[in-house]
Amino acid sequence: MVVGDFAIDLDTVVIGSGPGGYVAAIRAAQMGQKVTVIENTFIGGVCLNVGCIPSKALINAGHAFQAAQGGSVFGVQSQGATLDFAKTQDWKQHQVVEKLTGGVGMLFKKHHIEVVWGTAFLKDDHSLRVMQKDSAQTYTFKNLIIATGSRPIEIKGFQFGPHVLDSTGGLNLPAVPKEFVIIGGGYVGSELASAYANLGAHVTILEGTPSILPNFEKDMVQLVTKSFQKRGVTVITSAMAKQAEDTADGVKVTYTVDGQDQTIAADAVMVTVGRRPNTDNLGLDIVGIKTTERGLIEVNAQGQTNVPNIYAIGDIVAGAALAHKASYEGKVAAEAISGKKVAVDYRAMPAVCFTDPELATTGQTLAEAKAAGIKAKASKFPFAANGRAISLDQTDGFVRMVTNENGTLIGAQVAGPGASDLISELTLAVETGMNAEDIALTIHPHPTLGEAIMDDAELALGMPVNI
């Protein structure tokens, strides 16, 4: 790299290469822009390297371990199933994470996207400084997309270290802990609790609110809680974590419930109480970019900040911190820079939690619809009446549709086998304004989990066949 006080001129710059940044970069290149990505850690961001992807790999490994240990309900007997967790971690890193991040790198080359390594700091609305360990370089840009993502929140009394882990540390444990404490029962905490319970750990979840997974409806959460109980996971709600102390064998966690202090001895504790936007060291104040009290960047429907040539997407703007939301916003911002008339529409934003069973939701819940003054109703078809679910011995859960007075689908929830995949059909239905009759008249193959969607549509019409 050339180093000096002169500036190197660039066209479109994207800071960050996570699922928001790399998608924005590729779409911008497809629209004819010359794109440069600035990255300070790794291609693929948190999601591909230490988040969405590796967590799903461990979840799948846990399912495989459980399947190897017991299939007696199907007449399958197995003995002596063991877990080589070092091999699991090696597979997760080299066969899953590196394959995907390498693929993003190849896509960058295909679209002639340049990568500049370092940390970016804004100088003004058309220039920034990229700093490395022993050098720095100034770049000018025509347009900028900020996609710097977020980082785990560290709470008082739980300074990250060898035994007190953030989600990254929790994903990279060298061995399955015998006793594992997870502070926070949201998406990440509940998913990794499921994974490590299936891998053989005794997991305790400490959740500060009255319920885990507060973003999902109660009847969905109850299924996960029931599953946790079956697998020996201890869930303690309305519990305030106070401190973690290193011991000779691991860590002692102190928490308070009903005003009484309690302690748990564990091999490790993982803190998953939320994430903080990475906006505090970008120089936003120098440029005059408006932010909220939480540090989120204020943007319009195109992802444009109050500085016209600077855009922001993903975890650093309002809304759920979801990888697919960031990717969607990245495409909108890139296309807006190219002059296309685009705008974000979150009417059908799916959210999935990969617990046992899986939970998924899209659009509005019945409660949200009624709160918005919509005359709506919900229909709920159980997987216990679905042939494929019965053959899988996974009958807990349901498909639920929320329809308005015209029968138009405005929301849906799935709890049970394949929820993470089934929600896509329902999201499409909400996005395109399909009604229950449209779905009921769509022939679904038999026997499949997807049939439950058709059956639920018939239920919404008052003419159920299979229930």
Asked if residue 408 lies in contact with residue 433, where contact means CB atoms within 8 angstroms, the answer is yes
- pLDDT-derived band at 381 (thresholds 50, 70, 90) equals very high
Chain mean position to CA 302: 22
HSE-CB at 62 with a 13 A cutoff on CA atoms is 23
| 181 & 299 share domain | no
Quick check: helix, strand or coil at residue 318?
Answer: coil
Average pLDDT over residues 242-252: 95
Is 398 a domain residue?
yes
415 exposed, middle or buried (CB, 10 Å; 0-12, 13-18, 19+)? buried
| 287 & 421 share domain | no
Is 467 a domain residue?
no
Is 46 a domain residue?
yes
Q: What span, in angstroms and rounded, lies between the C-alpha atoms of 20 and 149?
A: 8
Q: What span, in angstroms and rounded, lies between the C-alpha atoms of 347 and 432?
A: 10
Long-range contacts (CB closer than 8 Å, 24 or more residues apart) made by 427-433 = 427/348, 427/350, 427/362, 427/363, 428/348, 430/347, 430/348, 430/362, 430/363, 431/347, 431/348, 433/408, 433/409
Identify the helix (H) or strand (E) that includes residue 409. Answer: strand 409-415
Average pLDDT over residues 77-99: 94
Chain mean position to CA 293: 23
* Domain closes at, from 227, 250, 273: 273
Average pLDDT over residues 297-319: 98
pLDDT in tens, 326-379: 999 999 999 999 999 999 999 999 999 999 999 999 999 999 999 999 999 999
| 373 & 268 share domain | no
Q: What is the CATH number of the domain that holds 171?
A: 3.50.50.60
| Cα dihedral across residues 65, 68, 70, 71: positive or negative | positive
Q: In this structure, are strands 398-404 and 376-382 parallel, antiparallel, or unpaired?
A: antiparallel
pLDDT in tens, 155-186: 999 999 999 999 999 999 999 999 999 999 99
Chain mean position to CA 28: 24
What is the tally of structural domains in the chain? 3
Is 375 a domain residue?
yes
**Average pLDDT over the chain, rounded to whole?**
96
Asked if residue 347 lies in contact with residue 426, where contact means CB atoms within 8 angstroms, the answer is no
Identify which of 145, 180, 140 has the alpha carbon closest to the alpha carbon of residue 164: 180
CA angle 420, 166, 38 (to 5 degrees): 80
Neighbours of 153 (CB within 10 A): 14
Q: Indicate if the pLDDT at residue 398 is higher than 50.
A: yes
Q: Indicate if the pLDDT at residue 2 is higher than 90.
A: no
Q: What span, in angstroms and rounded, lies between the C-alpha atoms of 213 and 328?
A: 24
DSSP state letters, 95-113: IIIHHHHHHHHHHHHHTT-
Is 158 a domain residue?
no
Is 114 a domain residue?
yes
Is 99 a domain residue?
yes
Q: What is the CATH number of the domain that holds 375?
A: 3.30.390.30
Asked if residue 180 lies in contact with residue 48, where contact means CB atoms within 8 angstroms, the answer is no
Q: What span, in angstroms and rounded, lies between the C-alpha atoms of 279 and 294?
A: 10
Chain mean position to CA 11: 31
Chain mean position to CA 125: 31
| 325 & 252 share domain | no
Tokens of 146: 């900020």
- With 0.85 as the threshold, say if the pTM is over it: yes
| 29 & 135 share domain | yes
| 239 & 295 share domain | no
| 281 & 265 share domain | no
List Cβ neighbours of 54 (8 Å cut-off, separation of 6 or more): 92, 93, 96, 97, 171
| Cα dihedral across residues 249, 176, 97, 276: positive or negative | negative
**Catalytic residue from among 126, 202, 324, 446:** 446
Q: What percentage of the chain exceeds 90 in pLDDT?
A: 95
Tokens of 19: 């699922």
| 143 & 291 share domain | yes
Q: Indicate if the pLDDT at residue 460 is higher than 50.
A: yes
* Domain closes at, from 313, 337, 361: 337
| 62 & 137 share domain | yes
| 384 & 311 share domain | no
List Cβ neighbours of 102 (8 Å cut-off, separation of 6 or more): none
- pLDDT-derived band at 69 (thresholds 50, 70, 90) equals confident
Q: Is 446 a residue of the active site? A: yes
Tokens of 107: 């896509």
| 50 & 138 share domain | yes
| 18 & 142 share domain | yes
* Domain closes at, from 229, 258, 273: 273
Asked if residue 317 lies in contact with residue 328, where contact means CB atoms within 8 angstroms, the answer is no
Tokens of 23: 């998608």
Domain that holds residue 225: 164-273
Q: What span, in angstroms and rounded, lies between the C-alpha atoms of 287 and 302?
A: 19
Is 93 a domain residue?
yes
Chain mean position to CA 258: 32
